[in-house]
Amino acid sequence: MFPINRPRRLRQNPQIRRMVRENIVTVNDLIYPLFAVPGTSVAKEIISMPGVYQLSVDKIVDEAKEVYDLGIPAIILFGIPETKDVEATGAWHDCGIVQKAATAVKEAVPDLIVIADTCLCEYTTSGHCGYLEVGDLTGRVLNDPTLELLKKTAVSQAKAGADIIAPSGMMDGFVQAIREGLDAAGFENIPILSYAAKYASGYYGPFRDAAESTPQFGDRRTYQMDPGNAREALKEVELDIAEGADMIMVKPALAYMDIIWRVKEITNLPVAAYNVSGEYSMVKAAALNGWIDEKQVTLETLTSFKRAGADLILTYHAKDAARWLQE
């Protein structure tokens, strides 16, 4: 009781505050997303994501070198193909854009971890994450046939040099299918980082500009989770763990920190939080207008993910954060 107890004693100078800080973000926590496109010397800024670019493979390699020099341990690759089709050929073809980027990065920066996003929405003409029933304009993806495409995609990405496979399509059984495919192809040591709890969120808008993956009709609510559900996230996580996931992701992060906390409570697996495009763009827009201190808000947000239980943070702020953390 006051005056014996005075919590401010441990806040009175930076050194004490640093000593007793409970949660600390380090550069080791960060994963930087990159968007690969065909061509050479392409660096096209995404209007809705200031500071983030669509990059050709040569530019991806340059970016990977910078990321590695900053001490960031991993990147995650997304791809925008030259052409799209109903079979999502660009996702699983050995000469797909993510495959080319993964190989080039591993040759140039072998110690940088390359995570491959394993999804189909960037590669299908519909913008959906798999096969659709002919004539169906609701966005109901055919689950089981899509698993075969995801399996082929994961194996091709592993062959190209990806260190970690990250399936994001929210198909039932996708972890099991991918694990079986990787193991049968001799990639039993490739981990799976599952987008286990991925919500049908309004925070993805800028990403869809970057990945050119906006659904041409309908929406993704038949396979991504309802934002009102929490217990369902735990069910999804438990299923993915049973199917062989090595790491678990919650996406988005900012509006779903309660989910990160709940997931961390039920598993000892590493938990990743995806600080998604809309969250990034809101901070950038406010900072560009002079309304907030970008550095303070960004580091505070990343720390909040750690406080909620995240072990890893996928964030477009990664390079800036790495520099700020070194100051």
**How does residue 211 score in pLDDT terms, banded at 50, 70 and 90?**
confident
pLDDT single digits (tens) 57-90: 999 999 999 999 999 999 999 999 999 999 999 9
Rounded to a whole number of angstroms, the distance between the first and last alpha carbons of the chain is 38
Q: What pLDDT score does 38 carry? A: 96
215: pLDDT confidence band, cut at 50, 70 and 90?
Answer: confident
CA-based nearest residue to 275, from 245, 298, 244, 243 = 298
Domain 23-325 has CATH 3.20.20.70: yes
**What would the pLDDT profile of 123-137 be if each residue is shown by its tens digit?**
999 989 999 887 777
Q: How far is CA 214 from the centre of its chain?
A: 17
pLDDT band with cut points at 50, 70 and 90 for residue 218:
confident
Q: Of 272, 213, 216, give the one whose Cα is nearest residue 54.
A: 213
- The confidence score (pLDDT) of residue 52 equals 97
> Is 251 annotated as catalytic?
yes
pLDDT tier at 173, thresholds 50, 70, 90? very high
Only one residue has tokens 């910078």, namely 66
pLDDT band at 320 (very low <50, low <70, confident <90, very high): very high
C-alpha to C-alpha distances, 38 to 42, 81, 231, nearest whole angstrom: 8, 7, 41
pLDDT > 90: percent of the chain: 91
> Count of CB atoms within 10 A of residue 268's CB?
7
Beta bridge partners of 113: 74
Looking at residues 259-272, what average pLDDT do you find? 98
Give the gyration radius of the chain's Cα atoms: 20
User: Quick one: pLDDT at residue 140?
Assistant: 85
Cis peptide before 252 (omega within 30 of 0): yes
Q: Where are the domains of the chain?
A: 23-325
Q: What tens digit of pLDDT does each residue of 38-54 get?
A: 999 999 999 999 999 99
Higher pLDDT, 135 or 323: 323
Q: What per-residue confidence (pLDDT) applies to 134?
A: 75
The catalytic residue among 59, 84, 106, 251 is 251
Check 84, 106, 198, 264 and give the catalytic one: 198
pLDDT band with cut points at 50, 70 and 90 for residue 138: confident
139 pLDDT above the threshold of 80: no
**Is residue 264 annotated as a catalytic residue, yes or no?**
no
